[in-house]
Amino acid sequence: MKFLNDILIVFILCAILLGVMTPSGSARFERTMPSLGGPGTSQLTPPTSFPKELSLEAAPPSGYVDPEIFHMLSKMGRIAIGFHAVQPKETLASIAKQYDTGFDYLRSSNRLESTNLSMRKTLVVHNGKGMLHKVSVRKGKLETLSEIARRYNQSKESIVRANRLPGLALLADGWIEAGQVLFIPNAKLRFIDYDLPVAWARGKRFLSSGFGMRRHPILGNRTFHRGWDLPRPHGFPVKASREGKIIFAGWNRGLGNLVIIKHAGGIRTWYGHLSSIAVEPGQNVRRGQLIGRVGSTGLATGPHLHFEVRDRYGRPLNPRKYLL
pLDDT score of 220 more than 70: yes
| pLDDT score of 2 | 54
Whether 239 and 291 have beta carbons less than 8 Å apart is answered as yes
pLDDT score of 59 more than 60: no
pLDDT score of 41 more than 60: no
Q: In whole numbers, what is the pLDDT of the chain averaged over residues? A: 79
Query: Highest-confidence range of 55-64, 183-192, 289-298, by mean pLDDT?
Result: 289-298
| pLDDT score of 222 | 86
Whether 30 and 181 have beta carbons less than 8 Å apart is answered as no
| pLDDT score of 4 | 52
- 36 vs 10 pLDDT, higher one: 10
Digit-coded pLDDT (tens) for 73-98? 888 888 888 888 888 888 888 899 99
Digit-coded pLDDT (tens) for 193-217? 788 899 877 777 788 888 888 888 7
**Across 21-38, average pLDDT:** 36
How far apart, in whole angstroms, are the C-alpha atoms of residue 268 and residue 218? 26
Cα angle value 62/64/68 (rounded, 5°) = 110
In order of their start, the domains of the chain are: 26-185 (no CATH), 212-321 (2.70.70.10)
Q: Which of 246, 263, 255 is nearest to 294 (CA)?
A: 255
Give the three-state DSSP class for 44.
coil
| pLDDT score of 80 | 82
How far apart, in whole angstroms, are the C-alpha atoms of residue 305 and residue 236? 9
H, E, C per residue of 76-97: CCEEEEEEEECCCCCCHHHHHH
Whether 324 and 114 have beta carbons less than 8 Å apart is answered as yes
- Please enumerate in sequence order all residues whose Cβ is within 8 A of that of 80, keeping only pairs 6 or more positions apart, or say none: 29, 30, 31, 32, 58, 69, 70, 73, 74, 99, 126, 127
Give residue 164's pLDDT band: very low, low, confident or very high (50, 70, 90): confident
Whether 295 and 276 have beta carbons less than 8 Å apart is answered as yes
| pLDDT score of 1 | 56
Give residue 147's pLDDT band: very low, low, confident or very high (50, 70, 90): very high
Please, what sign has the CA dihedral across residues 40, 46, 52, 54?
A: negative
